[in-house]
Amino acid sequence: MSKHLESTSKFLSLVLRHQPEAIGLTLDDAGWANVAELIKLSNNHNRALTLALLQEVVANNDKKRFAFSSDGSKIRASQGHSVAVELELPVTKPPEVLYHGTATRFVESIKQQGLLPGSRQHVHLSADHATAVKVGQRHGKPFVLEVAAKQMQEAGHKFYHSENAVWLVVAVPVQFITFS
């Protein structure tokens, strides 16, 4: 992804996941923003944005962080919100094991508290070890936790699967985590 697309993606993460008010944007309850309003407000805040650029970012983002509504009039982040939204994802039966990538410096805290969403609405889990390693590397020396997702689900925890293949859960109690 080019520097310009990467910069635009980071800007979209800011206004669609964390601070829509930074440009005066309003998200609906499901996290959708009107595309025309997003473009107008971005340009009013000296952030050049066009429909073509939005389409390029959505199409080329390797993590598929953003999605358009079926009619193309709205856009939202697929997950990772720190603002309150209801993504309207159905409860989904997870695989037996999921993974969470973190940095080694957080492991002791996780052993005490389990996995908590922090400023976000959900804990993010991946279906494969390699993705978890990549996530952990973003935060320092990576450490991958194995989550007994099927056991959690059987114990009453609800899992959601986002449009971009990230598994979401409110929290992961320590008894469901393997520290290897």
In-domain check, residue 83: no
Same domain, residue pair 21 and 72: yes
Q: What is the CATH number of the domain that holds 49?
A: 1.10.10.970
Same domain, residue pair 109 and 40: no
| Structural domains counted in the chain | 2
Same domain, residue pair 66 and 116: no
Q: What is the CATH number of the domain that holds 164?
A: 3.20.170.30
Residue 125 φ then ψ, to 5°: -130, 155
State how far the alpha carbon of 121 is from the alpha carbons of 14, 49, 73, 118, in Å: 15, 28, 25, 8
Give the pLDDT of the chain (180 residues) as one tens digit per residue: 688 889 999 999 999 999 999 999 999 999 999 999 999 999 999 999 999 999 999 998 878 899 999 999 999 999 888 898 888 899 999 999 999 999 999 999 999 999 999 888 899 999 999 999 999 998 899 999 999 999 999 999 999 999 889 999 999 999 999 998
Same domain, residue pair 71 and 107: no
